[in-house]
Amino acid sequence: MAADLRGGAADGTVTRVAPPLDAPLLRACRRQPRARVPVWFMRQAGRSLPEYRALRGEGSILDAIRVPDLAAEITLQPVRRYGVDAAILYSDIVTPVAAIGFGVDVAPGVGPVVDRPFACRADLQRLRPLDPDTDTPYVVETVRTVAGELGATPLIGFAGAPFTVASYLVEGRPSRTYARTKALMYGDPGLWAALLDRLADIAVASLRSQVGAGASVVQLFDSWAGALDPADYERFVLPASAKVFAGVADLGVPRIHFGVSTGELLGLMHRAGADVVGVDWRVHLDDARRRLGPDVALQGNLDPAVVLAPWEVVADRVRAVLARNAGHPGHVFNLGHGVLPETDPAVLGRIVELVHAEGRADGEVAA
């Protein structure tokens, strides 16, 4: 089903049109009965979409992000194709630190890579505060353009959480063990705390600028927080992530907190200040809800690899996620992590249709 996309005015200007408060995503984030189960996909922009690859061209994703018309178009592509209930800004978690000149790029097929990894106290000087209007004006403009075009569909703004961004800055490239990151964390807790505190301030500034320009939900991506045990998470990570959530609390937009392999951390991630906690496929939604109690909505949690299976299997697993949620209004359907590059876009479209069809019935039960 095509999404309701309003175009800008003929003179090229766009007016911000706030999505209605009854948008299914906004209601689900607030755990209010909704017309249907909202669904969107992490990493829905890019990767598996042929229209993305056609537009994107060569070069770093960080260059594409600096062209607002291009970034806005890429943000809107999955909304048009899938009829998802939200757009997510086409950007990256390292956009702000790249913009303040830390020396980070995103290598195709690899992820963020850093010229001179963060290693000592002097490196804090390379992480000055972010001024979104001058450092990332292209992000602000992209958000404004997209919000103007989307009409009734909410735009999700996002930032990388301090731990996950720090892991790239310290390791210098994607890591499996986070050995250097943990060495810094355990070896120099004072410097570690100062690093995370700066990254928290940068995330707050970025998120505030996105909400100011028209994002109506924010998600904090702490993708790799699952590398830590609960005690270390609580001591070394939670204070900085809590600072990010507190720093946007007055804006009144729902706040989603996401990580992978975070089954043991879900309660702490909620405590950090989230209204919605992301759950990956390793924890069933009914178990997650038991762990978290009634005061939080859940997002998830289809295994992204399941999407590559035959359709009957996909459909069964989608229904299983909905069944585990058991009609609870506080559920945002998503994958447990991002769309895999080899995903067939047609299957994602069918998943949206199925969630909307079956989730509608279950919304009626819950209402």
- Active-site residue set: 43, 47, 56, 92, 168
How far is residue 215's CA from residue 344's CA, in Å, rounded to a whole number? Answer: 28
Footprint of ligand CP3 (CB under 6 A) = 42-47, 56, 61, 88, 90, 92-93, 106, 108-112, 158, 174, 221, 223, 338
How far is residue 182's CA from residue 174's CA, in Å, rounded to a whole number? Answer: 14
235 DSSP assignment: I
Task: Give buried/exposed letters for 199-231 (b at 16+ CB in 10 A, else e).
Answer: bbbbbbbbbbbbbebbbbbbbbbbbbbbbbeee
Nearer to ligand CP3, 103 or 174 (CB): 174
Nearest residue to ligand CP3, by Cβ distance, number only:
46
Nearer to ligand CP3, 223 or 343 (CB): 223
- How wide is the angle at C-alpha 192 spanned by C-alphas 190 and 194, nearest 5°? 70
74 DSSP assignment: H
Q: Kindly state the smallest distance separating residue 216's Cβ from ligand CP3, in Å.
A: 16
Nearer to ligand CP3, 93 or 114 (CB): 93
How far is residue 306's CA from residue 315's CA, in Å, rounded to a whole number? Answer: 10
Burial of 367 (0-12, 13-18, 19+ CB in 10 A): exposed
Nearer to ligand CP3, 46 or 363 (CB): 46
Take residue 300 and report the two structure tokens written for it: 């998830």
Q: Kindly state the smallest distance separating residue 53's Cβ from ligand CP3, in Å.
A: 8
Q: Kindly state the smallest distance separating residue 109's Cβ from ligand CP3, in Å.
A: 5
Nearer to ligand CP3, 233 or 328 (CB): 233
How far is residue 114's CA from residue 168's CA, in Å, rounded to a whole number? Answer: 7
Q: Kindly state the smallest distance separating residue 91's Cβ from ligand CP3, in Å.
A: 6
**Residue 122: how many other CB atoms lie within 10 Å:** 8
Q: Sign of the CA dihedral 220, 226, 227, 230?
A: positive
341 and 48 Cβ atoms separated by less than 8 Å: yes
CA distances to 46, 75, 247, 367 from 210, rounded to whole Å, are 20, 14, 13, 32
How far is residue 275's CA from residue 28's CA, in Å, rounded to a whole number? Answer: 10
Q: Kindly state the smallest distance separating residue 237's Cβ from ligand CP3, in Å.
A: 15
Q: Kindly state the smallest distance separating residue 32's Cβ from ligand CP3, in Å.
A: 25
Q: Kindly state the smallest distance separating residue 244's Cβ from ligand CP3, in Å.
A: 14
Nearer to ligand CP3, 106 or 283 (CB): 106
Nearer to ligand CP3, 63 or 264 (CB): 63
- Cβ neighbors of 51 (< 8 A, separation 6 or more) are 77, 81
